[in-house]
Amino acid sequence: MNRVEGVIFDWAGTTVDFGCFAPVNVFVDIFKNEGIDVTMEEAREPMGMLKIDHIRAMLSMPRIAALWEEKNGRSFNEQDVNDLYADFEPALMASLADYTDPIPGVIETVEALRKQGLKIGSTTGYTATMMDVVVPNALKKGYDPDCYVTADDTNGLGRPYPYMIYRNMEQLTLSAPWKVVKVGDTVSDIQEGVNAGVWSVGVVIGSSKMGLSLDEYQTLTQSEQEAIIAKTTSIFKGKGADFTIRTMRELPELIDTINQLILEGHRPHSMEH
């Protein structure tokens, strides 16, 4: 059967938590506790990675690394990463349940994809413990993928490694990477899809990359919305996304397009951008 068999979604910023706010605020807070002011942009830059890797990536940013050194008289080390993560996890867990609302259009889209006979998988930058909060809360609100995989299932190797996608393929019996579509809202989601050899799709509105709440987005003028959509789209394309969609509602039609491309012999990342 030469067609898409399954779709693998990211969680926060893609299917739940419009704008991906749950972790961002906590990243800002844990650095503030150390006397270092980080910007929202810096806190979002590594988004989508496993959270401990995200903290390490932030500490490695030249500006933050310099501030850390100035404050502590030495470069950061692994112990610092672990200490910051020890502050991060309980703070995130405390608020996580509040950030599990499905993003508009997601529930209907998943229903439409299932009607097309597709399986629904998922990967995340959250740990298994965090997902113990997210999954049942999202389920209560109507979002229920067939399976989810965290880096706890892949020896701690999260994005941009492709292993969480492969584990989804195994659990859902998807027969080849080119019959799989990965949808996410961050650069590391796109890279995960590219590295796995699947069709890699960036969703723009509500994405962490866009970084706006639903209210903030809706108060923009149409031309401001168009500008930020264009900017986010070009970042995803620049990182190797095969396609971008504005919202999840465009996905069923995109799957039809990908099925046509597969029939014509195209494979992921073979298309000219």
Binding-site residue ranges for Mg(2+) = 10, 12, 185
Instruction: Identify whether 237 is a catalytic site residue.
Output: no
> Percentages helix, strand, coil for the chain, rounded to the nearest 5?
55, 10, 35
Instruction: Identify whether 10 is a catalytic site residue.
Output: yes
Question: Minimal CA–CA distance to 138: which of 167, 170, 110, 98?
Answer: 98
Calculate ∠ Cα 20-21-27, nearest 5°: 115
| Count, residues in the chain | 273
The sign of the CA dihedral 32, 235, 204, 176 is: negative
| From 17, 32, 51, 132, the catalytic residue | 51
- Count other C-beta atoms under 10 Å from residue 147's C-beta: 16
Which residues are known binding-site members?
A: 10, 12, 185
Rounded Cα gap, residues 59 and 150, in angstroms = 23
Catalytic sites, residue numbers: 10, 51
